[in-house]
Amino acid sequence: MVAMSGGVDSSVAAYILKEEGYDVVGVTLRLWIDPVAEELAGDEARGCCSLEAVNDARMVSAQLGIPHYVLNMQEEFLQDVVGNFTAEYLQGRTPNPCVECNRTIKFSYLIRKASGLGIDKIATGHYARIEYDSTTDLYRLYRGLDRQKDQSYMLYVLGQNELKATLFPLGMKTKQEVRKIAEQQEFKVADKAESQEICFIPDNDYRAFLERQNPDTLSPGNIISTEGLILGRHHGIAFYTVGQRKGLGLTTAEPYYVLKIDADKNEIVVGPVSETYCRGLIAENLNFIAGNPFLEPFEVDLKVRYRAAAIKAFLFPPDNSLARLEFEKPQKSVTPGQSAVFYRGEEVLGGGIIKEVL
């Protein structure tokens, strides 16, 4: 069962598996409909949840001669992904909905659906690799070969059951190779533009989306310094993120950045760039892919944002479901709500959600 979003990656994943001899079934998850956002986005920025995406996936499936089905998951997506996204912003955090979707919707749901239909494996167009380690009887997750497209950061939430049942056909390919395959097969989606937005906000207007979802979002409050001085007013904490510099409306002598968002007080704390650095973080909602927590601190390569370069950090054993990480060098604008993902070289060890910075 191949999850087909209507893009070039999942289309080529389905083609590769068919060529390798698998009996392939294509499915598209209908997760979200927001007519307002789609109308504003226009034809060039429609998300992977749009009707156009469904039609593109159906067309490729027809070319491949495989069955294609649309599975309605709108209610679950609204509750588990969109609801979490909105709630996190209202708490002054900056969530990553793609991680939450992988955690609660895509893999767990597809695996259950496939199993119920007697299908052995699911597959997606993610750029990541899964390998089975026979010496430890564990499935391991690794970065994709194409560093520019590597999506292993988004997949740290998977466990042994998910990895055992999943295939990533593009893990050893580059985006250029994938597009070339699509062109050779004359897929209509071969030159389809990359989607840079969150799928349920195709126009990329977070403010308008949050206002539509929660009219109470617009609750002005104070912008204060670390000493407690009132420097200005904000338009609602959901519209700001840690590390933000532009759009604060302040007239300070030097640029000020958002250091902290206090939802309880409805305040935003700002300061100069020198105050944006921290020495570590606390992570919650932990997942370790091997399943076994470790007993001693050890060094990891840590990513605190999807596009950020990995940094060196020491990971300490979890305490009360929280993990502490201390950076080798202070880091700028580490953001609560984002994922902290632990690597050892090419391997993804696990990760968690950033609860607070140190």
Residues with a known catalytic role: 101, 199
Q: How is residue 309 annotated by DSSP? A: P
Q: How many CB atoms lie within 10 A of CB 120?
A: 11
The Cα 98–Cα 79 span in angstroms is 14
141: Cα separation from own chain's centroid: 16
Residue 14 contacts residue 60 (beta carbons within 8 Å): yes
Q: Determine how β-strand 221-225 pairs with β-strand 267-271.
A: parallel
Task: Give the start-end residues of each E strand in 124-266.
Answer: 128-133, 138-143, 166-167, 221-225, 230-234, 257-262
Largest CA distance in the chain: 67
- CA dist 154 → 81, 103, 148, 342, 351 (Å): 14, 9, 14, 12, 10
Alpha helices (H) along 65-174: 74-77, 83-90, 97-101, 107-116, 160-164
Q: Determine how β-strand 166-167 pairs with β-strand 122-123.
A: parallel
To the nearest 10°, the Cα dihedral for 115, 121, 125, 127? Answer: 120
- CA dist 98 → 70, 192, 198 (Å): 20, 20, 8
Q: Which two tokens stand for residue 358?
A: 């140190």
The Cα 249–Cα 124 span in angstroms is 43
The residue written with tokens 């109470």 in the block is 216
At position 286, the amino acid (one-letter code) is L
